[in-house]
Amino acid sequence: MDSTARAQGVEGRERLAWAILIGSFIIWVALFISVPVLLNRYVQTARRPMVLAVLADEGTVGLSDARGRRPAIRPGEPPQMVEGQATILTNTTDSALVQVFTPDESELLARMVVYGATNLDVIEADAPRFRASGEQYELQLDLHGGRMRVTVPPREGRPLHLLIRTPQGGEVLLEQAGQYNVDVSNLETWVVVQQGTALTTSSGQQLAVGEGQGAVLRENAAPDGPTDTARNLIRNGDFNDGIAGWDAAAWFIQRGDQNTGETTISDLGGEKVLRFHRVGEGAARTEIWQAVNQDLADMESLQFLVTLQITAQSLGVCGQVGSECPLFAVMEYEDIYGSRRTWQQGFYAFGTPIPNFTPAFCTSCEPPVNDHVHVPMHELSTWESGNLLTQLAQQNIQPRRLLRVGLKAQGHTFETRVYDVSLVAR
């Protein structure tokens, strides 16, 4: 009996040892498989917030982040930096410029112009924490009311998933580079694609909207469209194809002993930018032009849009007769009588308008003349003309055919950067 008991005890210990060994092996195999899986899952799904730079283009802009309300932003102040989430509020005469950067601020992912009477929530703005992740950049917005213009610059690498939600329960998905307008009222949302493609969703149904098209989103209804509502008459207005489509004029230099200037396409943060640069004394001028040759008879509106930055200017305002602005947006056209005419808008960053010294408009230019627009030095600014056809009609001018559009830079020492220019016809 004793030997039998001992044998059974040995056998039991052996079974226990084998159980422990097999169990340990199973645990090791489970850890061997699960730890890399869990680690890979963490690498794929871990996120960190992107950076939003918010500045006031006009008026006073309200800004809140995850910690609460921030001080109001005024024109000329440096941009306020926000991570991840934000609420941007504008009154009727205000506008804001919002740039969305990668977490390390090395790359611009999107630029948004928030116009007056707009309430915009940035619900999510984050990026994968690790480069090895295959996930995309996420930018989700709630546009409760008002109007915004979104520019998504062309870029390579990790894609951006940009989703805009509307009060009517609709969604606008922007995954392609381009320029888009979204206008929200109480009853409907207008989506207009100047360049690129937008995928709109309403009441569970989808509609793709291409370049020059629009769509209307209403509650409990499928998207209405696409409609041929707007068209950008300027090609390569974001200069992603360099100077292609534009004719660059030679520089005019008043004094032969002075430096000429440079007209170049620069890469700033992954974005192509047109740059006019000159250092010297005496007058200098350069310009680029693009032929359009567009009949305006059926057009209801024509609107110039420019995103620019002036980083150097030696002359006050635009010189003694107002003709030497570091940037002019120009449009040449024929009126209904066949006369060739010019419309232009000047921009400056330095000086104060003083009659007969540094006038607020070009005193030597043919009518119609516009007051020059002041933009803060070194700051990125956007400008929108309003309906030029209506403005010209108020001065008894009726354009018949648009001939060409141009950008001019004049002055002594100046540096001007143009990020994009559009001429939108409806």
DSSP string, 325-392: -SEEEEEEEEETTS-EEEEEEEEESS---BTTTB-SS-TTSPSS--PPEE--TTS-EEEE---HHHHH
pLDDT at 69: 86
pLDDT over 90 at 32, yes or no: no
**List of residues 6+ apart from 102 with CB closer than 8 A:** 50, 51, 109, 127, 137
Tell me the pLDDT band of 295, cut-offs 50, 70 and 90: confident
**pLDDT higher than threshold 90 for residue 161:** yes
Q: What is the pLDDT of residue 185?
A: 82
Instruction: Answer yes or no: is pLDDT of 1 > 70.
Output: no
Query: In the prediction, which pLDDT does 20 show?
Result: 78
- Confidence band (pLDDT; 50, 70, 90) for 261? very high
What's the whole-number mean pLDDT along residues 238-265?
94
pLDDT tens, residue by residue, 344-403: 999 999 999 999 899 999 999 988 899 999 999 999 999 999 999 999 999 999 999 999
Q: Is the dihedral of CA 291, 272, 379, 302 positive or negative?
A: positive
Q: Convert the pLDDT of each residue in 319-328 to its tens digit.
A: 999 999 999 9
Query: Which of the two residues, 175 and 138, has the higher pLDDT score?
Result: 138
| pLDDT for 11 | 67
Cβ neighbours for 323, distance < 8 A, ≥ 6 positions apart: 362, 363, 364, 365, 410
pLDDT tens column, 273-291: 999 999 999 999 999 999 9
C-alpha 398/C-alpha 135 separation (Å) is: 53
At 66 the pLDDT is 83
Residue 292 pLDDT exceeds 80: yes
Domains of the chain: 47-229 (2.60.120.1440), 247-425 (2.60.120)
- Has residue 186 got a pLDDT over 80? no
Q: In Å, how far are 22, 51, 94, 105, 125 from 81, measured between CA atoms?
A: 56, 7, 19, 11, 13
Which pLDDT does position 297 carry in this prediction? 78
Of residues 2 and 339, the one with the higher pLDDT is 339
What is the chain's mean pLDDT, rounded? Answer: 90
pLDDT of residue 384: 93
Q: Looking at per-residue confidence, does 33 or 400 come out higher?
A: 400
Using one digit for the tens of pLDDT, what is the confidence trace for 138-149? 999 999 999 999
**Residue 249 — very low, low, confident or very high, per pLDDT cuts 50/70/90?**
very high
Q: Which of 95-104, 135-144, 163-172, 225-234 has the lowest mean pLDDT?
A: 225-234
Whether residue 44 has pLDDT greater than 60: no
pLDDT at 4: 65
pLDDT at 236: 94
Q: Which residues contact 143 (CB under 8 A, 6 or more apart)?
A: 118, 119, 120, 164, 165, 166, 167, 182, 184, 189
pLDDT given at position 367: 86
Q: What is the pLDDT of residues 104-152, one digit of tens each?
A: 988 999 999 999 899 999 999 999 988 878 899 999 999 999 999 999 9
- The string of pLDDT tens digits covering residues 59-101 is 899 999 888 888 899 988 999 999 988 999 999 888 999 999 9
Number of H helices, E strands in the chain: 2, 31
- Taking the complete model, does pTM exceed 0.85, yes or no? no
Identify the pLDDT of residue 28: 75
